[in-house]
Chains A and B, each alone.
Chain A
């Protein structure tokens, strides 16, 4: 556990030394504040469009941070050959994967806290209300979702040759799941033969990240909190998928030669 936390600590330090987070945060804040300064029909109480755009930017920024951070972890260690002294500590390959995952996931969590604090400030300034329970559920589900994304990018970093190709594939896969993941069963219903079966298999195989993403609509439109039971189900579902992807990453990494 010490090894895992030490590796995770290095990853978190790396994140706050890099400029990615700061640039994305400033961009998100700037766009949101610019949009907030626009007055529609002389009405100061209009807020939902602002919440919507701000949450969209937060989601995009967090996905960029999660995927780019996770995708470069192991390839960077291999390229700079620091992986050899690291594994000679002794640190097992499983611990390395786990440490990298935990570091990326915690770093994403810290970034989310900053982003959502800004979102909360914007919301409170317009709505004069702070639905803390809804915010907590939204941040938590967002973080769980990023856990799956980080695990996916770590698995990709072992399978694919370059971090750039891995990041691109991860972005495409996540965007596809968010956009169409929940509708694949409807599409499969309209298909015949093998194509329908394949789409059904994909539907049941993919992690349904759209659950977590769509929860932002409940915050934007003030629908109140999610039933705790289903919030718990989504949490366990996300953790199980992260665990599955990390196990796959460990299995792939265990047999992988580090010199090739």
Chain B
């Protein structure tokens, strides 16, 4: 009797395991795409670490020239981490004086010879050095969109690794399916690197839809990104030779852009091209 009961219990256990295992895996995937070990061990504190790792990437981008918690950081513009050395050189960096200031005494003066005191940006492929910190940041907080966009920017531009950029962006999309920024960057990978205008145009369109949905929901999406999406759509239209769509996108862009004169000239040019076009048979 006991033997039969044991076999029955074993069969029940096996049946329950095969029933619950797929459900457990699905539940796990739906609720958090990040490593469960991090979630279990660190909870919400991992977001703090994610911010720290992103700041570390920024410090590396400046080759160690970075304010500590005791210094007053200079106000950086968003997207500062995707600024090249040439763009940086064109700017007026008066804020460097406010971050370090003048040496307060001889200890400070001598001490400045032992750490980086010049504001530079990584260049010539050395931008790769920030990538480990960005990957760690994404591991810690998969919902931090800026991490994916920044890493993908360098991967697709200077480092010429569009496949890696796409892989990382898709990883970001798993955790942030409604991110218009990630769709925009993914579209750029297809447009500028993979030269696939059709897929790029679709991704831009998706990005635009996501932006509008966020706007309608009162999420206060970034207006500058909206301009960027439309700008990229215009470029994709021009590349595809779709004048009607280009005109429509330019007119949409005209509503939000500050450089209205330039855009109006582009609209006039497209209209002239449309007028010259032979009528369809």
Contact = CB atoms under 8 A, between A and B. Distances in A.
A186 B68 CA distance: 12
Contact of B135 (A40, A220, A226): A40
Interface in B79-120: 104-105, 107-108, 110-111, 113-116
A230 B64 contact: no
A187 B64 CA distance: 22
Contact of B63 (A40, A223, A230): A223
A234 B114 CA distance: 9
B111 A41 contact: no
Contact of B164 (A42, A212, A234, A237): A42
Contacts of A220: 64
Q: Is the interface of A mostly helix, strand, loop or mixed?
A: helix
Nearest to B69: A183
Q: Is the interface of B mostly helix, strand, loop or mixed?
A: helix
A93 interface: no
A177 to B, nearest CB: 12
Interface stretch (B35-43, B124-132, B215-223, B261-269): B124-132
Contacts of B151: 41
A187 B70 contact: yes
Contacts of A60: none
A47 B64 contact: no
Interface in A159-194: 180, 182-183, 185-187, 189
B164 to A, nearest CB: 5
A41 B135 CA distance: 9
A41 B63 contact: no
Contacts of B132: 38, 40, 46, 49
8 contacts: A38-B132, A41-B128, A41-B155, A45-B125, A46-B131, A49-B133, A211-B111, A218-B115
Interface of B: 60, 63-64, 68, 70-71, 104-105, 107-108, 110-111, 113-116, 125, 128-129, 131-133, 135, 151, 155, 159, 161, 164, 168
